[in-house]
Amino acid sequence: MLSMLSTRVFLPLTLLTTTLLTSISCIPTISTNPQSTFDTYGPVAESQLVLFYWILGAAIFVFVAMTFILLYTVYKFRRKSDDEIPEQIHGNKKLEIAWTILPCLILAAIAVPTVLTIFDNTNSPDTSSNSVTVDVYAHQWFWEFKYNHPSNETEKITVANEMHIPVGKVININLYSDDVIHSFWIPKLAGKVDLMPGNNNTMWLQADKEGVYLGQCAEFCGVAHALMKFRVIAESQEDFEKWLLAQSTEAIETIEPQALEGKEIFESRDAGCWSCHTIRGSSRSKGKTGPDLTHIASRSHIAAGVIENNQQNMTKWIENPNSIKPGTLMSTNGQVYNDPDKKLTGPEISALVAYLRTLK
């Protein structure tokens, strides 16, 4: 009898303990998951992690307490013999009052840090000129980041899929979308904020350590949603200013013959690259449909952070972008503008790649 009782009581406890320990051991670390929210590098992400632990602690307390009460009730009021009728209970006012008040107290305890965290994350601590403002535009399926020009207040500097920020400074972000709902998410720096067409949002973040932080669209936005990535490069103030100054310049004209041929192809009516992309300094390439390519050679990745930026990958991207990012609006297999039966040749694509790789 004692053996059976021990099995009934301690087996569920063992399973409960194993489940809790297993869930804790599954928490990812930076070494196994570069987008782990449990390894924070900024005040916004850190405050959200602390709030998560508050909620997790309350949930574990409720779960453990209810499990023990359930086990006690099953044991206390079990039927002890075939002939015995258990004691009939029709209510307990003290117990009913207790289980009404206690959940209210638990919810109140969770509500206080939740509200404080929401207000802290909504209201930027610094909106002065000492902070940095970035306008983020989400498109199907890439990101644009616009900065204030260092010497011209009326002009914006546009880059694609890589956002540079100075370490230790507040970054105020304006979020825009012209097509569908997207969600801006940098797990190690800040939580998700939606980009709503016709309803612009704002957020702020700060990086406390230099490095590259992975970002991701966190709201399903179409067939290439999972491949709508970006990178945040946190660097020193000096390096950030150098980068911003370099990005504010026009593309450097190339004199290498193959690259010159690639520029002619890029700006030709047949290829039609100019109709979708902007290259500052070019009299023809002023398209707004695709990413700004003015300094594309200086970026570590292409195709919205999907593949590394090298000659081989750029060639594959131009030849068949849908094989890398299904659903992309870029023409497939080097297809010539307004002529589905004509495609760019291998040498023409090589010249185009040579030109793009000079745009640093």
Domain 132-247 in the same topology as domain 2-24+33-78+92-122: no
| Percentage, residues of the chain above pLDDT 70 | 86
**What is the pLDDT at residue 30?**
40
Residue 306: other Cβ atoms inside 10 A? 19
| Percentage, residues of the chain above pLDDT 90 | 47
Is residue 128 over pLDDT 50? yes
**What is the pLDDT at residue 336?**
54
Is 15 buried (19+), middle (13-18) or exposed (0-12) by CB count in 10 A? exposed
Superfamily of domain 132-247: Cupredoxins -  blue copper proteins (2.60.40.420)
Residue 350: other Cβ atoms inside 10 A? 17
Helix then strand count (H, E) for the chain reads 7, 14
In 3D space, the residue among 232, 132, 116, 136 whose CA is nearest the CA of residue 183 turns out to be 136
- Look over the chain and give the mean of its residue pLDDT values, rounded to a whole number: 84
Give pTM, 2 decimals: 0.80
Three-state SS for 302? strand
Is residue 91 over pLDDT 70? yes
CATH 1.10.287 fits 2-24+33-78+92-122, yes or no: yes
- At 274, the pLDDT band (50, 70, 90 cuts) reads confident
Of the two residues 160 and 271, the one the predictor is more confident about is 160
Q: Which residue has the tokens 């075939």?
A: 82
Q: What is the pLDDT of residues 213-250, one digit of tens each?
A: 999 999 999 999 999 999 999 999 999 999 999 999 88
Angstrom distance (rounded) from CA 100 to CA 97 = 5
Q: What is the pLDDT of residues 44-60, one digit of tens each?
A: 999 999 999 999 999 99
Q: Which of 18-22, 118-122, 165-169, 206-210 shows the lowest per-residue confidence on average (mean pLDDT)?
A: 18-22
Kindly report the CATH number that applies to the domain delimited by 257-356: 2.60.40.420
- At 333, the pLDDT band (50, 70, 90 cuts) reads low
Q: Which residue has the tokens 């350590």?
A: 209
Is residue 334 over pLDDT 60? no
**What is the pLDDT at residue 64?**
96
133: left (phi over 0), alpha (psi -120 to 50) or beta: beta
Residue boundaries of the structural domains of the chain: 2-24+33-78+92-122, 132-247, 257-356
